[in-house]
Amino acid sequence: QVQLVESGGGVAQAGGSLRLSCVASGFTFSSYFIQWYRQAPGKERELVATITSAGSTNYVDSMKGRFTISRDNAKNTVYLQMNSLKPEDTAVYYCYTWVGAPCWGQGTQVTVSS
């Protein structure tokens, strides 16, 4: 059973940092890309960052320089390091992959106070 489980969300002050984790199971983790998405209240879910199976990364422009996606294949885990947080980063953050079908985690709430 393909599963993604996020953790690491919480409350941070503007300018602070959080590190999210996404632990994968049920598939050959090292062979698949992982993406982070986020969904703020009343808004559509949006892509944040991508890491390929080879470790190449890509970011949405508004996150470049503040967010870093990385992976540890030995731990079946992808991380999202978020620095210089802004109130507009407040959202539920999800990890995602495609293993024959879309697979989403349950999400982790990030709240940034001003």
Q: Compute φ and ψ for 89, nearest 5 degrees.
A: -85, -5
Per-residue pLDDT, 15: 97
Q: How many CB atoms lie within 10 A of CB 70?
A: 14
Return d(Cα 25, Cα 52) in angstroms, integer.
17
Per-residue pLDDT, 63: 87
Per-residue pLDDT, 62: 85
Question: Token digits for 9?
Answer: 């969300």
pLDDT at 4 over 90: yes
Express each pLDDT in 75-99 by its tens digit. Answer: 999 999 999 999 999 999 999 999 9
Q: How many CB atoms lie within 10 A of CB 60?
A: 15
Per-residue pLDDT, 64: 87
| Chain-centre distance for alpha carbon 102 | 15
Q: How many CB atoms lie within 10 A of CB 69?
A: 23
Express each pLDDT in 7-48 by its tens digit. Answer: 999 999 999 999 999 999 999 999 999 999 999 999 999 999
Per-residue pLDDT, 85: 97
